[in-house]
Amino acid sequence: MDRAVKPMLEVNGLRKVYEDASRTVEAIRDVSFSVGQGELVCIVGPSGAGKTTLLKCIAGLLAPTAGGVVVEGTPVAGPPPAMAVVFQEYGRSLFPWMTVHDNVALPLKQKKMPAERREELIRDALAAVDLKGVNGAYPWQLSGGMQQRVAIARAVAYEPHVLLMDEPFAAVDAQTRADLEDLIRVLWHRLRVTVLFVTHDIDESVYLGQRVLVMSHAPTVIMEDVAIDLPDDRTQLETRSMARFGQLRKHIYSQIQLAKQGWRPPSP
C-alpha cells in the first residue's frame, strides 16, 4: 500500500501460535498492515478473531511467533515508550488504591519530568476529557463512563505518538458510548495522534475510522482494508444517517458474516 504519509506503525507478517504441553493454537496466521502518522484506523472482527492477541503483540506485551511490529522505525521488543494503551476493563486498568489524579500522574512520574510540567499535563488531560473536580476522587466513586474518561486522560497525559484502544467502550451504556466516540474524534483531531482502535462493533468502526481493517476468524488474516470515505466532520445524528454510512456498514457487515462462516481471502 502506497501512502503519502510516512508509516507510524507497521505490522509485518505477524503470526502468533500459543503452545503449551497439551496443544497448539494458531491465533494469528499472517497479518500485515501499516498505519500512517496521524491516521485513525479501526480493527473490526467477529469475537474470537484474535483482536486482543494482535493488540497485545502490537503493544509489546506479547512476543509474536513470527513477523514483527515496527513503531516509528524501531522494532517492538517490549512496550514502546511512545505508545499508550486504553483497555476495555477500565475498572481493572485504573488502580483502585490511587485517586484519579495519582492514576494519571503515575506514568508521568516514571518519565522523570519536572513536577510543574507533570501537573500541567494532568490538568490539561483531565480538562480534555471533560472531567473537572474529580482529582481527589477514587475511580470506583465514578460512573463507568467517567472511569473510562480517566483512563483516556491517563493515556493523553502520557503524550503518546500512538494510541491503542482495545474495545474501550464495550462495557459502557449506549449513550455514554456515543459521547466517548465523539470524544475520541475530538482528541484525535486536536492532538494529531495516531490511533488504532479495536472494536467488535461495526457501526463504531465506520463512525470513527478513516480506514477499517476487517479481520477473519482465527487463525486471523486481514479480510479487507476498507477506506471510510465519509466527511471528516462527523456527528452521531448526521453521519450515522448518511446513505454512504449505511453502504459501508452493510459492506463490512457482510464481510464479517463471511468471516464467521470461515471464509478467508485467497492467499497472495
Partner 1 sequence: MQAAPAPKVRARLTARTFIWLQGVGGLVGFALLLEIVPRSGIISPDYLPPFSTIMVALFKEMTTATFWTALSDTLEAWATGLVISVVAGVVIGIAIGSSHVLRALTHSTIEFLRPIPSVALIPLAVLLFGSQIQSTLVLVVYASFWQVLIQVLYGVQDVDPVARETARCYGLGAWAQIRYVTWPTTLPYLMTGIRLAAAVALILAITSEVAIDTQGLGKEITDTESGGAVAIMYAYVVAAGIIGVIVNLGARALERRVLAWHPSVRLDAAEAGA
Interaction between residue 59 and partner 1 (CB under 8 A): yes
Q: Report which of 215, 252, 225 is spatially closest to residue 49, judged by C-alpha positions.
A: 215
Question: Which of 48, 96, 231, 246 is close enough to bind partner 1 by CB under 8 A?
Answer: 96
Site string for partner 1, 8-47 (x = CB under 8 A): ----------------------------------------
DSSP per residue, 31-84: EEEEEETT-EEEEE--TTSSHHHHHHHHTTSS--SEEEEEETTEE-SS--TTEE
Cα-only R_g, the chain: 19
Nearer to partner 1, 142 or 226 (CB): 142
Please count the residues of this chain forming the interface with partner 1, following the rule CB under 8 A.
32
User: CA angle, corner 234, sides to 230 and 237, nearest 5?
Assistant: 110
DSSP per residue, 135-176: TTS-GGGS-HHHHHHHHHHHHHHT--SEEEEESTTTTS-HHH
Interaction between residue 84 and partner 1 (CB under 8 A): yes
Per the CB < 8 A criterion, the answer to whether 5 and 211 are in contact is no
Interaction between residue 247 and partner 1 (CB under 8 A): no
CB of 143 to partner 1, least distance (A): 7
Nearer to partner 1, 42 or 146 (CB): 146
Question: Which of 31, 43, 57, 85 is close enough to bind partner 1 by CB under 8 A?
Answer: 85
Q: List residues near partner 1 by CB under 8 A.
A: 56, 59-61, 78-79, 81, 83-85, 87, 89, 92-93, 95-98, 106-107, 110-111, 134, 137-138, 140-143, 146, 154, 158
